[in-house]
Structure 1
Amino acid sequence: MSVHERRLDVRDPEDPPFDRIQEALSDLDPDERLTLINGFEPEPLYDVLDRRGFTYETTQVADDEWHVEIEHA
């Protein structure tokens, strides 16, 4: 089964990202992976992901850029 990639960049400081992230998670199909791009490590999100049954891997790619690869567990 191939995994389809989706990306969500939430680095815009004028737009609170939580609702957009929640919507993207709700729309994520079992064969999709969401790459969340954030300006800081989104530690508060990890509990939400755990509770909703997602696995994730976080990588810091620059001082102000973090990528979180999210999939259904």
Structure 2
Amino acid sequence: MPERETRELDVREIEGEPFGEIVAALDTLCEHETLVLVNSFEPVPLYDVLEQRGFTYKTSQEGSEEWHVRITHA
């Protein structure tokens, strides 16, 4: 099995609503890749979207205003 590649999307750097860029990153996520979404808060509304689109995720709080969501295909 090939080693899983990791891509990072830091939405703290995006002006305005980052949902479009998150969806675009998910659309191009390969089976062997993990997308690490970095946000300033826990993106709870995103979880239903991820599940509906066939992804699994693991969330961790890395700092007072830094959350990482590791997203992979289910």
TM-score normalized by the length of structure 1: 0.95
Q: Which residue of the partner structure matches residue 41 of structure 1? A: 42
Determine helix, strand or coil for the equivalent of 2:21.
helix
Q: Deviation of residue 22 (structure 1)?
A: 0.2
Q: 1:4/1:16 Cα in 2 relative to 1: closer, same or farther (>3 Å)?
A: same
Structure 1 unpaired stretches of 5+: none
CA RMSD of aligned residues (A): 1.0
Percent pairwise identity: 53
Determine helix, strand or coil for the equivalent of 2:7.
strand
Following superposition of structure 1 onto structure 2, how do residues 1-73 of structure 1 map, counting pairs within 5 Å?
1-12=2-13, 14-73=15-74
**Paired positions, count:** 73
Q: Deviation of residue 16 (structure 1)?
A: 1.3
- Regions of 4+ moved over 2 Å: 12-15
